[in-house]
């Protein structure tokens, strides 16, 4: 599903190397937590996977697609296979919950009939079926993050990247979001979660990849994380 073979990324000689000879293999349907201090290279790794950045050296293959052979015109198609959830939600404030999720389908030309069938089903998965007419500002932080997750999975991506999705949430809402990610993973989606939250990492007992100074420090099947 995801293969990185000796991948390095240097932004400039002055800026140093963000990632250095990273090798990583993630199987389909895995749930992997990526941890590390700020500046360790986590964000760079995610940008390489979504093709926001290109590696300086090394090979990246995602879902059978070799990034070396990927033309720029094919990047949008690649990104439809990869859903991304951010810390700051990025919802459209003047659209309802339903409209925010539907928008992700509208921009790729999905029919109105299919949108009407798909969006309620996805909102049900994230536990927000009764909030489809609400505006983002009427929701709690945790609910807004779940809308963002719904928008990320509505195109049925094979991979979901959740980049610090609980960073701005209190513990209860953070766990609501994590439970939704676990549910999506059970449906067969590969989930990559980055987090600084020790409690979440240690209680989930999932595979943990620790990045330090641009290198993989450890890769444990049922890992933990200590600051």
DSSP annotation of 154: T
The more confidently predicted of residues 64 and 16 is: 64
The pLDDT-based confidence of 13 (bands split at 50, 70, 90) is low
Is 15's pLDDT higher than 80? Answer: no
Give the mean model confidence (pLDDT) for residues 189-214. 93
State in words which class domain 1-81+157-227 has. alpha beta
- Is-contact 91 148, C-beta < 8 A? yes
pLDDT band at 1 (very low <50, low <70, confident <90, very high): confident
Domain residue ranges in the chain: 1-81+157-227, 91-156
> Taking 70 as the threshold, does the pLDDT of residue 225 lie above it?
no
- The pLDDT value given to residue 193: 96
* pLDDT, tens digit, 9 for 90 and up, residues 115-167: 999 999 999 999 999 999 999 999 999 999 999 999 999 999 999 999 999 98
- Any idea which residue has 């909102």 for tokens? 123
Closest CA to 156 of 132, 180, 121, 130: 121
Q: What is the mean pLDDT of residues 93-104?
A: 96
- Report d(CA 120, CA 110) in Å as an integer: 15
Q: Is the pLDDT of residue 2 over 60?
A: yes
What lies within 8 Å, CB to CB, of 45 at 6+ separation is 4, 19, 22, 34, 211
């Amino acid at each position: 599903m995801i293969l990185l073979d000796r991948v390095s990324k240097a932004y400039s000689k002055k800026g140093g190397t963000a990632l250095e000879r990273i090798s990583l293999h993630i199987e389909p349907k895995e749930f992997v937590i990526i941890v590390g201090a700020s500046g360790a290279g986590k964000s760079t790794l995610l940008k390489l996977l979504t093709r926001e950045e290109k590696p300086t050296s090394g090979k990246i293959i995602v879902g059978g697609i070799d990034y070396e052979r990927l033309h720029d015109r094919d990047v949008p198609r690649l990104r439809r296979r990869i859903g991304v959830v951010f810390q700051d939600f990025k919802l459209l404030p003047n659209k309802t919950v339903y409209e925010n999720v539907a928008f992700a389908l509208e921009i790729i030309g999905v029919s109105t009939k299919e949108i009407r069938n798909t969006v309620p089903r996805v909102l049900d998965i994230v536990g927000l079926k009764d909030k489809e007419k609400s505006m983002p500002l009427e929701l709690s932080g945790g609910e807004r993050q779940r809308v963002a997750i719904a928008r990320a999975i509505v195109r049925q991506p094979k991979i979901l990247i959740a980049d610090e999705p609980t960073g701005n949430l209190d513990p209860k809402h953070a766990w609501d979001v994590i439970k939704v990610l676990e549910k999506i993973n059970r449906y067969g989606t590969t989930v990559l979660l980055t987090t600084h939250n020790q409690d979440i990492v240690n209680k989930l007992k999932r595979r943990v990849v620790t990045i330090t100074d641009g290198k993989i420090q450890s890769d444990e099947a049922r890992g933990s994380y200590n600051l």
